[in-house]
């Protein structure tokens, strides 16, 4: 077999045609440094008072700032190579993985550890990723020098490793949510899942103040934006979820939502016009 013939049989990544897009921006580089134990209360709790004082001086990390919009973090991941990664100090970012014309999204915030997406040489399906900042964000650069300085305190990498495991668990929960066949159930479970971390308790339920547009919700639950809009309208009509993108209200309790959505799904169906349905007849909502 000639080299030209061999190339015909070698697997290559499958590619979709790409349309024009605005290139992502580079995040702002600053000369600011922060004491990590001051910027991350949960990490500080890993130490007793005496060891915290001695460790604080050596946990300085360079700070990266990123405004709202799509950003390219490649240079900063390269700067963190060999270290622990990039730690989100505050803000909100959506990590988007795209295959073809569809994207799946993960929300990350303060305390999450970011690592670059892994590109495997044997990958047959081409995919692309991007980081979309939803709230102005600050990141701590945990590079090789930082890792060397905190070597006497193994509780820091151990705590960050637990956070990486928590992120995997959150992604697994999101996968299970998207496996639900009905879109109303997927959206409702997603909002409760996010409210456990970012929600605020109110007398009537939970309030979730996140910039969750219908498009972003669709990427999180694997649905098209128009379908998400209709499903949210049905949830609002049932008195379960109300509000607007950026300010969502979950009324009642999770148990009452599950009862309405799973045990008594007719409550979230829109009112039918014209002929009334026959007793016992049902209509599935996608």
Q: Residue 29 is encoded by which pair of tokens?
A: 């580089």
Q: What is the pLDDT of residue 24?
A: 59
Q: What is the pLDDT of residue 226?
A: 95
For the CA atoms of 195, 200, 204, 209, the dihedral, rounded to the nearest 10 degrees, stands at: -70
Q: Decide which of 2.60.120, 1.10.3470, 1.10.3110, 2.30.29 is the CATH code for 28-111+125-152.
A: 2.60.120
Q: How far is 64 from 31, CA to CA, in rounded Å? A: 9
Tell me the residue ranges of DSSP E strands in 26-120.
28-35, 60-66, 69-71, 85-99, 102-109, 113-114
Does the model's pTM come out above 0.85? no
Q: What is the pLDDT of residue 119?
A: 72
Same fold, 28-111+125-152 and 180-268: yes
Among 270, 205, 276, residue whose Cα is nearest residue 237: 270
Residue 31 phi/psi, 5-degree rounding, is -100, 15
Q: What is the pLDDT of residue 11?
A: 47
Where do the structural domains in the chain lie, given as residue ranges?
28-111+125-152, 180-268
Q: What is the pLDDT of residue 117?
A: 80
Residues 6+ apart with CB under 8 A from 235: 184, 187, 188, 241, 268
For the CA atoms of 12, 17, 23, 29, the dihedral, rounded to the nearest 10 degrees, stands at: -20
The residue written with tokens 């103040």 in the block is 209
Q: What is the pLDDT of residue 201?
A: 94
HSE toward the beta carbon, residue 171, CA cutoff 13 A: 15
- Positive/negative CA dihedral, 167, 168, 170, 175: positive
- Positive/negative CA dihedral, 235, 239, 243, 249: negative
Q: How far is 13 from 34, CA to CA, in rounded Å? A: 42
Q: Residue 140 is encoded by which pair of tokens?
A: 């701590």
End-to-end CA distance of the chain: 52
Which residues partner with 205 through β-bridges?
Answer: 202, 251
Q: How far is 237 from 8, CA to CA, in rounded Å? A: 56
pLDDT per residue, tens digit, the chain (286 aa), is 555 544 444 444 444 444 444 455 555 555 689 999 999 999 999 999 989 998 999 999 999 999 999 998 999 999 999 999 999 999 999 999 988 888 889 999 999 999 888 777 667 778 888 999 999 999 999 999 999 999 999 999 999 999 999 999 999 999 999 999 999 999 999 999 999 999 999 998 999 999 999 999 999 999 999 999 999 999 999 999 999 999 999 999 999 998 988 877 655 655 443 444 444 444 433 3
Q: Decide which of 2.40.100.10, 2.60.120.10, 2.40.10.330, 3.10.20.30 is the CATH code for 180-268.
A: 2.60.120.10
């Amino acid at each position: 077999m000639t080299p030209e013939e061999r190339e015909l049989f070698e697997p290559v990544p499958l590619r979709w045609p790409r349309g024009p897009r605005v290139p992502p921006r580079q995040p702002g580089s600053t000369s600011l440094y922060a004491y990590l134990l001051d910027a991350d209360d949960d990490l500080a709790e890993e130490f007793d008072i005496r060891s915290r004082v001695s460790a604080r001086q050596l946990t300085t990390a360079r700070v990266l700032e990123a405004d709202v919009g799509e950003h390219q973090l490649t240079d900063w991941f390269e700067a963190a190579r060999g270290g622990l990664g990039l730690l989100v100090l505050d803000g909100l970012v959506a990590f988007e993985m795209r295959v073809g014309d569809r994207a799946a999204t993960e929300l990350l915030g303060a305390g999450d550890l970011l690592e670059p997406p892994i590109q495997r040489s044997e990958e047959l399906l081409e995919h692309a990723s991007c980081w979309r900042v939803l709230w102005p964000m600050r990141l701590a650069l945990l590079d090789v020098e930082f890792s060397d300085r905190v070597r006497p305190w193994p509780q820091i990498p151990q705590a960050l490793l637990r956070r990486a495991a928590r992120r995997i668990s959150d992604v697994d929960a999101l996968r299970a949510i998207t496996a639900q066949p009905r879109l109303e159930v997927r959206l409702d479970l997603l909002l409760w899942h996010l409210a456990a971390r970012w929600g605020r308790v109110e007398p009537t339920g939970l309030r979730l103040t996140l910039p969750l547009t219908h498009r972003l919700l669709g990427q999180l639950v694997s649905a098209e934006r128009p379908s998400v809009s209709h499903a949210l309208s049905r949830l609002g009509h049932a008195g379960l979820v109300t509000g607007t993108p950026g300010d969502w209200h979950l009324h009642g309790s999770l148990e009452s939502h599950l009862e309405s959505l799973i045990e008594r799904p007719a409550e979230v169906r829109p009112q039918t016009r014209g002929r009334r349905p026959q007793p016992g007849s049902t209509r599935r909502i996608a």
